[in-house]
Amino acid sequence: MSHEALDWAVQQRLGAKQKLLLIKLAFHATTKTHCCSLSRRQLSVLCGMSIDSVKRALPELVAMNLISVESRTDDGMNLPNAYTLKVGELA
């Protein structure tokens, strides 16, 4: 867990769903890279929202320049995306 990322996420002015999602990403982010890898299903369970709500909120966080998303695969099999929080960057 990155305390810096968590503090940063809490300070963002967002709607409830986007904020909760950002806080959960920050909670699971590494201290060094501010990156985590969780499936949308895991995020929906952690946040108590539907997968569709997660699918809508993630692009909103990208559009606000708060996170970047890297799609990942291994030998043609989909893996959970990697999410990097843009802690300390100007939005």
pLDDT value for 35 = 95
Q: Which segment of 31-35, 62-66, 86-90 scores lowest on mean pLDDT?
A: 86-90
pTM for the predicted model, two decimal places: 0.91
Helices (H) and strands (E) in the chain — how many of each?
A: 4, 3
1 has pLDDT over 80: no
Q: 19 is written with which tokens?
A: 């904020």
pLDDT value for 4 = 92
Q: Which segment of 37-41, 42-46, 86-90 scores lowest on mean pLDDT?
A: 86-90
Average pLDDT over residues 58-84: 94
What the chain holds in terms of domains, given with CATH numbers, is: 3-85 (1.10.10.10)
Q: What angle do CA 16, 72, 86 make, to 5 degrees?
A: 45
**Mean pLDDT over each residue of the chain, to the nearest integer:** 93
